[in-house]
Structure 1
């Protein structure tokens, strides 16, 4: 029955309505029944009281007269009522005067019903009393027939119960019919319409449905269904479009796509995968995934695949076997759950081109393009590996790094050309490579510098040193052999420096630095030599490194100051000053420019320092000009490093500084060294002429100490030669120095070039220079270099 009821809303409603009506009717009738019994009890009490009142007087008289027959007659008359079960009349003493009992009858109501429903209906007692004469005759006792009374009540109430039940069932039936026509039937029509509606169709319903149910709940239900159906149609359209897009993206994806089921069988393959793996989708689905991999690749890949967690994408590399050819691939895998099933998607990418590119990049990063030897980075990495392995095993085995530099290579490169130089490097690399065994790394560090890493030479440092010396001698001997570079036979030698280490607290940088220090010491000792790093060399190296760090810090923090030394003529008149840089270190105090300027040139700071000097000196001249303390005819001499002078941006920077400080170009005298001219005379001449066109003066500083030919002087646009102080200092005691000074002054006069002597420290020097025709001076005799405020105070007179 439950299945039947579950199929029809109308049947459910009708059944429940009838059941509810019956229950409610029975409950209502039960209330009426109990209420009826209560009313009947009141009527019974009233009837019995009235009956007793009627017979009270006759029975009282009968007892007074002791008329038993009359009394019996009265009692028997009362028994004609079926509601009385027994009667007794007792006299004043309590003795029975008369009594009567009703005939026995059968009743349909059980006795316990009467005890339950008429429990409170008791026996009746009436006192018999005569008023005339005043006499208490006794008592009348009456026992009601309860079963008869209850049977009569039941019969009366049963008819009411049947009537109410019929009425309620009829009402429930009518309500069910109304519900059917108002709710069930329209719902049936609506559901029938929904069951026949097609994709992208509206829900078809008769106009009467809309007319009768437009504003009620069924109308709202229809509107809701229509809205949901519209949204569902939209969602279905979007889903179809998304599915088409997904299929198109899978099919046309740049990566091969393989979909695996929970047993790792291939269930989906896209076109890219077919082309990459050179198999159709049917072939791939019929083969296992293992068939695609090389044996070694499959073991590792299977382990990763089996341990892959859900929703945790992972990228691995593997090797596929495609028609006998190995194909490196990159696989992006992800495992996920779809409707209680686990699937795995593999995005497979051919990385053979990338691997080739990585190999090429690796070669570019770790190998020299000219000699094909490992480069500095490769050697450093190998050295790092050696140090790590030594620390990991606590081994005392010694290794060594040997640096080698070809002697006179720059001369060969410049004179014979770079092509010949490269061929020579290749020839050296090829010849030395034959001396290299498995425990030696041979690398080109750059330029004409090579390096050797000798690994695990032994535990005895003395024996290791002998082995290194033997290896170095073989290298030096090989380098001395005649080399063919192009059409040239070249004779070269090599300088070598080495360091021995066992990995105890050493670093890659420190070891390479030690080898470089040893090589530098070998070069200082002469060419074609070898030096082994010793601890005492470290002090020199550390001092140099400390100087470099301090110089960087000083440059960044602008710890430099400019001092100014006066320049005068033979009449003791000020003609200008030279700006001299001074550096006062916090720990070491003043450091001579002769010490830190060469270091600055080597580490590339000289350009920045030179720019600062030019800016600071021009700024000071500008201030003095505004204050009227600098004569426009005076010159500020500023030293320019050859490295700074050769910079392409030097001339624009000079113009910018002159314009920035608004200093007349005639107030500036740039001092350059003659060695600068050796690098590129043509370029230097062009730049010097451009400087002269600006109006800036040019001087050759430290003249006589360089190596340039004197014939250059006639073509140089210079205004002044500065005789180096080394010649002036011994002018009075050394005839050679005097002769040089004479020659320089005479040559300068012939070329119409002024001469200024540096290092004039005494009056005797000054007097002798004036005698031989030098009329411009600079030195301690005229004034020491001083800060700008002291310079004005000491040498500028108002």
Structure 2
């Protein structure tokens, strides 16, 4: 439209501009051709000099060696350049060595024209010099091909002439059309861009538009639409980024994602659901949701899809299927409307591992790892359920505690693996006693329990049922059991508590059953006891004893008494350190009462350590004051539990060094039962004690089980005949026979014998008659504190003699 409007002015301007451009172009080209020829001649000389320099040394060498073949190759290589017409090589005498010329070529210029324009271009000659050795080998003569050179000059400048002419014509055309491009074309471009704005993703305009029309109407129009365009582009960019971001989140989500349309057709599926179902996304989209779902759960889930409201997310656990195998999933459902279309989003998480972990945790929390039986927590929960279900019923139930007798001895002697197998064997043997109303569980260690639910309303009848059940348990436990390669005979002790819905808590029931179990153990084991109210007082006293014993151990409320040991010459040979505990409320408490409890609750090691430290400290003080003879022995009782401690030997050595007491003054008294646990370990430790220089005695000899079998192996210095044999020595021939046998055996084995419990002169005389020469008992002196021991039996030896 702009060209038509300015037809006359545009044509005039165009013709004039075109003529001036052609004239100026021709003049400029003529000047460039003349100058080009002059500069080309200089370039020709330079090119030929460089070319001759290349072949100078090779040709000189060829002349020197008279190698015509190589020289011919070199000049033939020069003729490869079309600017050379002929090449000759003379030797140093001027005789032609080799020569070559080009074949005939067709050129666009004649030879005469070439000679005219290039009259000053002559043949190029150069002497051929050898550098090593220095020698003039000959000369080289090159005749240039002037026609080729002139042809190149014309060709080059002809293209320049045509290029300049075309450029100037083009410039004239551009100048003629400047008005068109300044006004008409920008306006047309802007109009076209605006007209196609709706179907273009990006609107582009020439950068010069605003520069040339900054202040006019086109400039203002351009600015307005540029702002609109920028806003539109930003909106489109944000929308595209949001779309890509959403797709990336969907594809990289850890949970499977399914999007359903209002007809429940799958319109979107991500990579996670593909991996979960092991089906390609394309195949998933072709499936119906029902095909992916577990048939057993589809009806419920279908109802949920139909009924749950818009914009109210819902989380449910259900099941999908993978190649026909069902697996649990957790689904987060969301239903919403976009652009009048309803969609349902399913966020699906495979919870197979979580369910397996929950099941594993549940088993760890409620089942025993060794036997697979329910544990204490499970039993407690079931007991609480009994109270909830039978809260308004007058019905009795019972809890029966079972403890394997001497299980620790079996476990320590045969190993924990055998002990575990024994527990599993017991659990298997007793499993057949379980019924619908009976729960069999393991509480820990060798403790088991039964919960008998809903036994009836007649308490007397219920007691008979519990007793009969306990008898069947005792019988089953007495059967021979095979644990590993061992046949094990084991018995059990049982305690039961019968309760109704009026009982307070599970802990009370457990405590009552435990009290009954403790009473059964006190009654000789392998028996059953039913909880009675009177038992609680005994249990409370024991608990009170345990608390007091903890307090006494912590604050060192014990005291050591010393009882003299005498020889047949009426002389003191040592003393036994005996622990005494005087409670502020109960007075003196017998060691026979509190030592077993200390062993059971784990305080015996601390008490034994205190006894050893206190006794050695006293011996050190007496040695320093000269009141203790180096030949005397301080007898110190060592508990089997303390002796089996790994640090017992280092502790003993440290105590001896700490108090600077010679080891020969110490006599450690151990019991026969200690040898049952681990003879090899005990033997090694006993040898180490002997290596220190200390003495070893077996206390209460004759009351154990296997000491006679291993006695010959043990590094024992002395046997202490138990007072139970000495007490009836005068009236019971069997006891006298045992004492005689011990004395005879000790003589053969090179051991000494000391009799405990010597209380009368008759005992003393009878023991001397049967060759027992060392004694200890009330006849010679009662255990007394340290100061009284020195005053009575060291400073005032007449006390001992008067007693005798």
Specify the TM-score bucket, using the shorter chain as the normaliser: 0.5 to 0.7
Contact 2:310 2:334 in 1 (8 A): no
Matches within 5 A, 1:116-127: none
- Name the structure 1 match of 2:353: 353
Give the drift of 1:720. Answer: 1.6
- Name the structure 2 match of 1:213: none
Check 1:299–1:501 CA distance in 2 against 1; reply closer, same or farther (3 A cut).
farther
- Name the structure 1 match of 2:185: none
Contact 1:575 1:635 in 2 (8 A): yes
Check 1:698–1:279 CA distance in 2 against 1; reply closer, same or farther (3 A cut).
same
Contact 2:413 2:676 in 1 (8 A): no
Check 1:361–1:583 CA distance in 2 against 1; reply closer, same or farther (3 A cut).
same
Give the drift of 1:686. Answer: 2.0
- Name the structure 2 match of 1:276: 276
Contact 1:301 1:318 in 2 (8 A): no
Give the drift of 1:698. Answer: 0.5
Check 1:537–1:301 CA distance in 2 against 1; reply closer, same or farther (3 A cut).
farther
- Name the structure 2 match of 1:379: 379
- Name the structure 1 match of 2:708: 710
Work out the CA distance in 1 between the residues paired with 2:715 and 2:638. Answer: 16
1:333-360 CA distances to partner (integer Å, 9 max, x unpaired)? 999xxxxxxx999986533124224323
Work out the CA distance in 1 between the residues paired with 2:792 and 2:452. Answer: 64
Out of 368-377 and 380-389, give the one that drifted further: 368-377
- Name the structure 2 match of 1:666: 664
Give the drift of 1:400. Answer: 1.2
Secondary structure in 1 matching 2:783: coil
Give the drift of 1:528. Answer: 7.1
1:236-261 CA distances to partner (integer Å, 9 max, x unpaired)? x9x99999999878755655578999
In the alignment, which of 598, 601, 604 is matched to residue 603 of structure 1? Answer: 601
Matches within 5 A, 1:571-586: 571-586=569-584
Secondary structure in 2 matching 1:455: strand
Check 1:349–1:679 CA distance in 2 against 1; reply closer, same or farther (3 A cut).
same
In the alignment, which of 463, 466, 480 is matched to residue 465 of structure 1? Answer: 463
- Name the structure 1 match of 2:498: 500
In the alignment, which of 537, 546, 552 is matched to residue 554 of structure 1? Answer: 552
- Name the structure 2 match of 1:634: 632
Matches within 5 A, 1:32-47: none
Work out the CA distance in 1 between the residues paired with 2:484 and 2:669. Answer: 43
- Name the structure 1 match of 2:721: 723
Check 1:462–1:315 CA distance in 2 against 1; reply closer, same or farther (3 A cut).
same
1:192-216 CA distances to partner (integer Å, 9 max, x unpaired)? xxxxxx9xxxx99x9xxxxxxxxxx
Secondary structure in 1 matching 2:496: strand
Give the drift of 1:708. Answer: 3.1
Give the drift of 1:440. Answer: 1.8
Give the drift of 1:414. Answer: 11
Matches within 5 A, 1:98-247: none
- Name the structure 2 match of 1:757: 755
Work out the CA distance in 1 between the residues paired with 2:678 and 2:574. Answer: 30
Out of 280-289 and 612-621, give the one that drifted further: 280-289
Check 1:610–1:350 CA distance in 2 against 1; reply closer, same or farther (3 A cut).
farther
1:397-456 CA distances to partner (integer Å, 9 max, x unpaired)? 211123456789999999999999988876775665455332221334567765331112
Secondary structure in 1 matching 2:699: strand
- Name the structure 2 match of 1:363: 363
Matches within 5 A, 1:473-492: none
Matches within 5 A, 1:284-303: 294=297
Out of 324-333 and 657-666, give the one that drifted further: 324-333
Out of 593-602 and 675-684, give the one that drifted further: 675-684
Check 1:445–1:628 CA distance in 2 against 1; reply closer, same or farther (3 A cut).
same
Work out the CA distance in 1 between the residues paired with 2:495 and 2:242. Answer: 71
Matches within 5 A, 1:7-86: none
Out of 656-665 and 298-307, give the one that drifted further: 298-307
Work out the CA distance in 1 between the residues paired with 2:417 and 2:557. Answer: 45
Secondary structure in 2 matching 1:363: helix
Give the drift of 1:685. Answer: 1.8
Secondary structure in 2 matching 1:437: coil
- Name the structure 1 match of 2:438: 440
Q: Name the TM-score, length of structure 1 as normaliser.
A: 0.57
1:630-661 CA distances to partner (integer Å, 9 max, x unpaired)? 44433222111122222333223323333444
* 1:396 lines up with 2:398 in the alignment: no
Give the drift of 1:539. Answer: 3.1
* 1:327 lines up with 2:333 in the alignment: no
Contact 1:297 1:319 in 2 (8 A): no
Work out the CA distance in 1 between the residues paired with 2:786 and 2:315. Answer: 69
Contact 1:407 1:528 in 2 (8 A): yes
Check 1:681–1:267 CA distance in 2 against 1; reply closer, same or farther (3 A cut).
same
- Name the structure 1 match of 2:585: 587
Work out the CA distance in 1 between the residues paired with 2:727 and 2:531. Answer: 40
> Where does structure 1 lack aligned partners over 5 or more consecutive residues?
1-197, 207-232, 336-342
Work out the CA distance in 2 between the residues paired with 1:733 and 1:727. Answer: 11
Check 1:345–1:768 CA distance in 2 against 1; reply closer, same or farther (3 A cut).
farther
Give the drift of 1:582. Answer: 1.8
Check 1:322–1:748 CA distance in 2 against 1; reply closer, same or farther (3 A cut).
closer
1:744-770 CA distances to partner (integer Å, 9 max, x unpaired)? 334333333222232334555445544
Contact 1:413 1:421 in 2 (8 A): yes
- Name the structure 2 match of 1:161: none
- Name the structure 1 match of 2:678: 680
Q: Name the TM-score, length of structure 2 as normaliser.
A: 0.56
Secondary structure in 2 matching 1:651: helix
Secondary structure in 1 matching 2:661: coil
Check 1:416–1:566 CA distance in 2 against 1; reply closer, same or farther (3 A cut).
closer
Give the drift of 1:501. Answer: 0.5
Work out the CA distance in 2 between the residues paired with 1:785 and 1:307. Answer: 91
Contact 1:745 1:774 in 2 (8 A): yes
For the pair shown, which has the larger CA radius of gyration, 1 or 2?
1
Contact 1:366 1:378 in 2 (8 A): yes
Contact 1:399 1:457 in 2 (8 A): yes
Work out the CA distance in 2 between the residues paired with 1:351 and 1:734. Answer: 78
Contact 1:702 1:724 in 2 (8 A): yes
Secondary structure in 2 matching 1:358: helix
Aligned residues, how many? Answer: 574
Check 1:365–1:623 CA distance in 2 against 1; reply closer, same or farther (3 A cut).
farther
- Name the structure 2 match of 1:650: 648
- Name the structure 2 match of 1:614: 612
1:551-580 CA distances to partner (integer Å, 9 max, x unpaired)? 333333433332233334344444333222
Contact 1:297 1:318 in 2 (8 A): no
Secondary structure in 2 matching 1:655: helix
Secondary structure in 2 matching 1:438: coil
Contact 1:404 1:494 in 2 (8 A): yes
Secondary structure in 2 matching 1:590: strand
Work out the CA distance in 2 between the residues paired with 1:634 and 1:281. Answer: 94
Secondary structure in 1 matching 2:383: helix
